[in-house]
Structure 1
Amino acid sequence: MPPAASARGPSRSASAIVVADTARGYHILRIDGYSLTKETPTGECIKSHPFTIGGHRWSIKYYPNGNKPDVKDYISFSLHLVGAPTEKVKAQFQFRFVSEVPDNSLTSEDVDIFKGTGGWVYSKLIQRIELEKLEHLKDDSFAVRCDIIVVNGFRAVEEHAEVITPALVDVPPSDLHQHLGDLLLTEKGADVVFEVGGQTFEAHHCVLAARSPVFSAELFGTTKESDTEGVIRIDDI
């Protein structure tokens, strides 16, 4: 019969896809004279001044009455890449009002691909009626902030695989010392007697020999006591 194959554990390996390089920034767009911008027809926009983040040129479009008829009661914003028609950029972005407390949710946004002059729209940033009730609008003016993370590439890296240790039996702490103490107190199996200062103490010669080389030599070696009474006398103590 062929020899039995030796048991081997499963091989382990791990890797990760990481962002190789990113650049981040933000642009604040302030809308002054908000009430006058409401005259802009649905689908028409007002453009921001171009700005640069991550080595690319961007612009923001503001739609006071929505970017399409089904969102005409909303304010819409869109982010656009200003570049050559063949340019392609991967980026994450998020619009929020400047008066809002910043959060860390930008990294959870999807990575969008901007091509040439293409853009992505926040069609329902806020309803106009809601904006006019909130503190975002002051002195007929409000501001939005567009955060952008430009993703320049991804790469794979090797990681150390986590070694999972098999579950072991929970071994209770040793209670040998307690058992040996009980043996001494009860004097069960005691086979040697010490006489010290007129008092006698019973003990176990195996335990003494294991714990002391002196007693081991005295009890088992050439210096073994030959007292017929089995008593070891210790003087001057």
Structure 2
Amino acid sequence: MAGNLPIKRIFEVPAFTTPDGTLHLWPCFHRSPIFTAGGHDWSISYYPESIYSSDSIDLCLQLESEGAGVTISSSVALLDPTPSLPLFKLVEESPPMELDHAIASRSTVTHWVPKSKLSAAPVGDRDSLIFVWAITILTQTPMPVPLPLPEPEPEPEPMMAAMPEVPAEDVAPPSPVPATMTNVASEAKVPATDVTYSVGGQLFHAHKVVLATRSPVFEAQLFGGPTSTAEASHAPAAAVVEVDDMRPDVFEALLHYIYTGTLPATEGEAGDDEDASHQMMRHLLVAADRYDLEGLKLQCEGELARTLGEGNMAEMLAFADDHYCSTLKDACVGFMVASPAETMERVVASYGYQRLRLRHPLILVDVLEKSLMFRKA
């Protein structure tokens, strides 16, 4: 390996140390922006629980360059932020590993690190962990050594696994989840996942612990926890869990929220794109209701409330009543109260309002009471 110099990149993950010296790790997936090293694009990801051991973390180096193939060795150390101490070695330099972006199972190197080793690192009080990943591009090397599957209680050695191709983005508060994935379910980019969902013939790969942490319905479905919903009564007995009555793009948006705490970006603001975005929000709200994701449901209600108008008010009010959306219902009432008489005359004369009267007669009583409250406020 002479002549091949390591290229070092820093990857910072939030953490904090309590006064008693206990290190608390960031509990969510975290991913770096894409960077260039050795003529190739890469990203680094952090998993708070290794798929091989809950007492370890996973650090994953993903080859991002389309169609690229490269042989590397790598190591990981912890940097003292002061910096008064030398690098604390977490993972020794690996044997040569051949990466191929076109083959999902060979596009990522994963190092697992025991949490006890992180806690023992002599770097004092800190509000983050600063990892230094050394990548050595091997231009002349013997045949790469296949990496064995880990044994129980693994030592920190590298192993290949696939990671999703996910651009980083800002996270909107108050979600505690860092910006991570926008395409978590790409079939060609499967990370160290342990559950697969089939929606409309498309496969979506995810992590049970992430789904269960965010949704009590997923928790009951995957781990048998208590729930009263019908969705959770179908525990996944097979390797692939079928999801009925949902569009694939809606399930992908649901996963996007679960992993990032944000709504997926929409492509347009007018015409057909605006209508498609409106329909997506409605479908996504129904999915949020199905999986008991109250935060997502509230965000969808807010997005739908911003699209309220004379042409869709009655239909939106019926939709809000069907799905127990108090925020959206209040927005509809507020729209009615604030609208001039001419506008409300057209709303009352519309086909949507006539359907509302037939299918949701009691809601008009609720609207009357709420409108009186709005007028008094």
| Structure of higher RCO (CA pairs closer than 8 Å, 6+ residues apart) | 1
More strand per residue: 1 or 2?
1
- Please give the TM-score of this superposition, normalised by the length of structure 2: 0.29
More helix per residue: 1 or 2?
2
- Please give the TM-score of this superposition, normalised by the length of structure 1: 0.45
